[in-house]
Amino acid sequence: MKKAFKILFLSISVLLVVVSCKKKGTVEMGPTTNYVAEHYTKKEVDIVMRDGVKLHTTIYSPKDTSKKYPILMQRTPYSSQPYGEGNFRPKIGPNEILMKEGNIIVYQDVRGRWLSEGHYENMRAYIPNKTSNDQVDESSDTYDTIDWLVNNVENNNGNVGVWGISYPGFYATYATIDAHPALKAASPQACIGDFFFDDFHHNGAYLLSYFRATSLFGTPRPNGDQPIDTAWYTLPELPTQDQYQFFLDAGPLKNLDHFFEYDTADTPTMRPEGVTDDYFWNELKDHPNYDAMWQSKGLIQHLKDVKSSVATMIVGGWFDAEDLSGPLETYKNIEKYNEGNYNTMVFGPWDHGGWARTVDRNVVGNYYFGDSISLFFQKNIETKFFNHFLKGDGSPNSGLPEAYVFDTGRKEWKQYDTWPPANASKQTMYLSEDQELTSEPKSTTGIQFISDIKKPVPYSEDIKTVFTPRKYMTDDQRFAARRSDVLVFETEPLTEDLTLAGDILANLKVATTGTAADWIVKVIDVHPADTETNEEMQDHLKMSNYHLMVRSEVMRGRFRNSFSDPEPFVPNQKTEVDIKLQDVFHTFKKGHRLQVQVQSTWFPLIDLNPQTYVDNIFNADESDFKTQTHTVFTDSNIEFTVLK
């Protein structure tokens, strides 16, 4: 069981677990109490779905039975542990306030995971217009679960809310489609929307930095896919802390297959060439393009029919390295297609799930944003949302704005009736010669750099092996700005504040001596020399001239015209490559500089592009990888959304 918890803590859903830091030496510990055990009763049930499959469900009910309570539910692939009715979580619910106020809190292992029956499908596809009980998906499983809960759990008031962070956030979104009438509120948080644009891919580029997370989703359960209460998967252990050097030495992606050849009692050692025991790794390899498989698993395109009876509050972090596209696109698509729905967004200065932590100082990586920001969200936004729709009158007048957003430059909350704000407009800036970022185009010329596949641009200065990357989203980019294969364009020190509030579109004009290339654009806030250093800063850095990465994104060049139908570049031919960067809300203060960096490698955040076109990079040979010379033309521009 210890092994199971160790791996669970490393998983994407680690956000709901409280980790305590122990000081060295012997410390006398007094008696500890568990608030949940003192105030809640726990019951474990197996709820039968419409096709007969049983899903393991844990129900925490307040011991005070003098009143009725709403049900708050999370469905998860990461286990509803601890198992056993005498074993209690240290904390339950979205936050401690909702736990102490009293709510019926429910956790469920989704189909095919842990103690639930059935077969697990990674990002299970939605089935519209179901015609039989054999047609099941996460929407029908959620509906059947809610139906059982409201009819069988004592002292519930008939109102249900769902929440979840990361993959559980995906299930929270799923609940709003074909929703049960009792579902009144849903808060998808850092919710995956589509695995071709979240987590494992960004605009078609494979995120090699998520390599170790693959087995979490692709390892078959043992014993004929039977329920199991301990972790059946293990994370690949790299033989070094220097992941940059490890992946560089490993070479082509196909050389990593052996990490996913498990040779367990349930998997034969004789397998076809190139096929592993990990079905998710096989999916990644066999489906390099945005084909029918990926399209069917995406949830964003099914948000046209979110039930109007469900209030939604989408939560995300401006510096979430894992799921930033998902929550933004979830909010925007519900808003676009469901006029009249109660649909709001909350974005703060957090990394993945940072809003669920109970910390005083809110920091992402090296960068400090302020005190009690997460606690403010939990008390004044999240609790208020659920209480209004589950305990209050549920009217559209919740007291919360359409957009509750944190300006990461001014370091303060703002409220707007629309997102982007109504007074935002587009402003174009040009990538000009002499490292200038200008408001008007100058002469058109080409700026060249050599993209050496033996020395790709690192995404971080840190020498370490990570489970999934987080810190780099606010990392100091000086190390990159000083490389010859990173082009830099920046303004003079600003004479007045400049606030970006919305999406960013990079319109690049490029060429390459090869037939394939990646293009990375980063938007950076260059701080003045006299900026004071905060206490969390790494020892080798100072805030003086800190290059704060505000937003960044990659486009795998083969997908510049279509994610489904890739195409090579014509060598030395000027070509348009557009890159959509996700929304920001950041004020570049007077005296700061706005900088844009352009590069073609970002290693090992993304895998290494061979820079010669191959049908499938997962099958590329060593000989396919070639150093090339790239050109960025100075009629390239960046379109910002600027708040006036």
Give the DSSP letter string of 333-391. Answer: HHHHH-TT--EEEEEES-STTGGGS--SEEEETTEEEEESHHHHHIIIIIHHHHHHHHT
pLDDT at 194: 93
Residue 185 belongs to a domain: yes
Planar angle of CA 376, 380, 384, nearest 5 degrees: 150
Segments forming the whole domain that contains residue 255: 203-296
Closest to 162 (Cα-Cα) out of 227, 85, 234, 70? 70
| Residues 530 and 438 placed together within one structural domain of the fold | yes
- Are the C-beta atoms of 266 and 224 separated by less than 8 Å? yes
| Residues 244 and 335 placed together within one structural domain of the fold | no
Residue 292 belongs to a domain: yes
- Are the C-beta atoms of 429 and 500 separated by less than 8 Å? no
State the burial class of residue 500 (Cβ atoms within 10 Å of its Cβ: 0-12, 13-18, 19+): buried
pLDDT tens sequence across 487-519: 999 999 999 999 999 999 999 999 999 999 999
pTM for this model (two decimals) = 0.93
The domain tally of the chain equals 3
In this structure, the number of other CB atoms found within 10 A of the CB of residue 104 comes to 23
Query: What is the spatial distance between Cα 49 and Cα 383, in angstroms, rounded to a whole number?
Result: 31
Residue 638 belongs to a domain: yes
Which of 391, 416, 441 terminates a domain? The answer is: 416
| Residues 275 and 223 placed together within one structural domain of the fold | yes
| Residues 292 and 302 placed together within one structural domain of the fold | no
pLDDT at 98: 98
Q: Are strands 593-599 and 518-526 parallel, antiparallel or unpaired?
A: antiparallel
| Residues 362 and 389 placed together within one structural domain of the fold | yes
| Residues 508 and 637 placed together within one structural domain of the fold | yes
| Residues 325 and 381 placed together within one structural domain of the fold | yes
Find residue 507's DSSP bridge partners. Answer: 578, 637
Distant-in-sequence, close-in-space partners of 108: CB < 8 Å, separation ≥ 6: 47, 55, 56, 57, 58, 73, 74, 75, 76, 80, 116, 145
Sign of the Cα pseudo-torsion (20, 23, 24, 26, in order): negative
Q: Specify the 3-state DSSP secondary structure of 449.
A: strand
pLDDT at 16: 39
In the block, residue with structure tokens 């704060």: 548
Which DSSP helix (H) or strand (E) runs through 8? helix 2-10
| Residues 169 and 225 placed together within one structural domain of the fold | no
pLDDT at 22: 35
Query: What is the spatial distance between Cα 348 and Cα 377, in angstroms, rounded to a whole number?
Result: 9
State the burial class of residue 394 (Cβ atoms within 10 Å of its Cβ: 0-12, 13-18, 19+): middle
- Are the C-beta atoms of 392 and 335 separated by less than 8 Å? no
Six-digit token string for 9: 């803590």
Query: What is the spatial distance between Cα 140 and Cα 127, in angstroms, rounded to a whole number?
Result: 9
Query: What is the spatial distance between Cα 422 and Cα 416, in angstroms, rounded to a whole number?
Result: 8
359: domain CATH number? 3.40.50.1820
Q: Where are the beta strands (DSSP E) in 481-517?
A: 487-490, 498-512
Query: What is the spatial distance between Cα 351 and Cα 188, in angstroms, rounded to a whole number?
Result: 16
Query: What is the spatial distance between Cα 539 and Cα 533, in angstroms, rounded to a whole number?
Result: 10
Six-digit token string for 557: 């060049």
Instruction: Compute the mean pLDDT over every residue in the chain, rounded to the nearest whole number.
Output: 93
Going from the C-alpha of 412 to that of each of 347, 374, 420, 435, 592, the distances in angstroms are 12, 13, 17, 31, 18
| Residues 116 and 262 placed together within one structural domain of the fold | no
Note the maximum CA span of the chain: 76
Residue 3 belongs to a domain: no
Phi, psi of 454 (to 5 degrees): -90, -15
| Residues 570 and 455 placed together within one structural domain of the fold | yes
pLDDT tens sequence across 340-397: 999 999 999 999 999 999 999 999 999 999 999 999 999 999 999 999 999 999 999 9
Which of 366, 400, 416 terminates a domain? The answer is: 416
State the burial class of residue 328 (Cβ atoms within 10 Å of its Cβ: 0-12, 13-18, 19+): buried
Query: What is the spatial distance between Cα 426 and Cα 31, in angstroms, rounded to a whole number?
Result: 59
Six-digit token string for 426: 């587009």
| Residues 546 and 605 placed together within one structural domain of the fold | yes
pLDDT at 12: 39
pLDDT at 21: 39
Distant-in-sequence, close-in-space partners of 93: CB < 8 Å, separation ≥ 6: 72, 99, 103, 105
Which DSSP helix (H) or strand (E) runs through 585? strand 575-588
Q: What is the block-wise mean pLDDT of the chain (644 residues), using blocks of 10 residues?
A: 40 38 39 88 98 98 98 98 97 98 98 98 95 98 98 98 98 97 98 92 94 94 95 92 96 95 58 77 96 95 93 98 96 96 98 96 96 98 98 97 98 98 97 97 96 98 90 97 98 98 98 98 98 95 97 98 98 98 98 98 98 98 98 98 96
Which of 238, 269, 296 terminates a domain? The answer is: 296
| Residues 241 and 339 placed together within one structural domain of the fold | no
